[in-house]
Amino acid sequence: MPKSSTITQKPRGLQMTLPAKAENVVIVRHALAGLAVEIGMDEAGVADLKTVVTEACMNVAVHAYQGQPGSLSVDAKPDEDGLTVVVRDEGSGIRPQADADRPSLRLGLSLIAALSSSFAISGGLHRGTEVTMRIPLRGGGENGKSDPVTMEPVTSGATELVTDQPELLGPVLARVVGALAARRDLSVDRVSDAVLVTDAIAAAAPSRFSDGRVRLGLEDFEGGIELRMGPMKPGAATEIRKELEVPDVGGSLEALADELTVDQSADGEYVIIRFAAPGL
């Protein structure tokens, strides 16, 4: 029997749009690390990826909007040799050197260029900036141009992840939910509950998205987090809730969430899950 190719099984990409805040950089880092591990990037490559993504996103968070609200867009596209990451803003542009008093790695775009097998920056004054970085799976790699990437606009106050490969849901979702839950001071038990429930939903959900594309809306509030996932085929949410049942012990993993509801939208069903700290 011929050995199956791992290349064709790799996820096709991940898109994120978040408010351009320093506290959201960890969300990007966790999500892309999950994608990198899934496509087979080695430990050194993942470390380099986290470094360049942190620096590029912190530049946006600190400099692009000069203290005003704005959005941070990240697009990650894997192929057989590595991962191309595009970081965009719509503000005044990022600066090539880090300020001494800002909370970043303090090495600026020169560090990104050093750790990437290819690197490009485009944009201009008050026209936003786009930074494209390519990280090889295992060190080295050939320079090359990344494919053009499109990003659907969302409001700057929203946090949204989009992927066209539902199987990517598990490795990315667990990391992002865990990071959000910890950031909002949920107890270790509540963080574990959130990861357990979202892991189970991720395992049950891949075949149920109406157009093969997954949208994750994420919101963290004082003392908790909320996840909105879809669009799914009619009846899919009911099927997922059934799969959360635990026959051997009775009950359902759904009970670990503070709220699990279904929203009927024009493009399909959305599952909404809410986790809060005790007493809220």
pLDDT tens digits, 196-226: 888 888 888 888 887 777 888 888 777 788 8
Half-sphere CA count of 225, side-chain side, radius 13 A: 26
- Using pLDDT thresholds of 50, 70 and 90, give the confidence band for residue 118: confident
| Domains of the chain (ranges, CATH numbers) | 14-136 (3.30.565.10), 166-276 (3.30.565.10)
Residue 158's pLDDT is 56
Instruction: Please check the confidence at residue 252 and state whether its pLDDT lies above 60.
Output: yes
Closest CA to 67 of 25, 102, 105, 106: 102
Q: Are 87 and 74 in contact (CB under 8 A)?
A: yes
Which of these ranges, 74-88, 90-104, 121-135, 140-154, has the smallest mean pLDDT?
140-154
Which of these ranges, 5-9, 24-28, 135-139, has the smallest mean pLDDT?
5-9
Q: Which residues of 48-59 are buried (b: 16+ CB within 10 A; e: fewer)?
A: bbbbbbbbbbbb
- Tell me the pTM: 0.64
Q: Bridge-partner residues for 272, per DSSP?
A: 228, 261
pLDDT mean over 152-168: 65
Q: Kindly state the tokens that stand for 35.
A: 């994608």
- Using pLDDT thresholds of 50, 70 and 90, give the confidence band for residue 186: confident
DSSP code at position 178:
H
Task: Measure the CA–CA gap between 68 and 150, rounded to whole angstroms.
Answer: 24
The separation between CA 140 and the C-alpha centre of its own chain, rounded to angstroms, equals 25
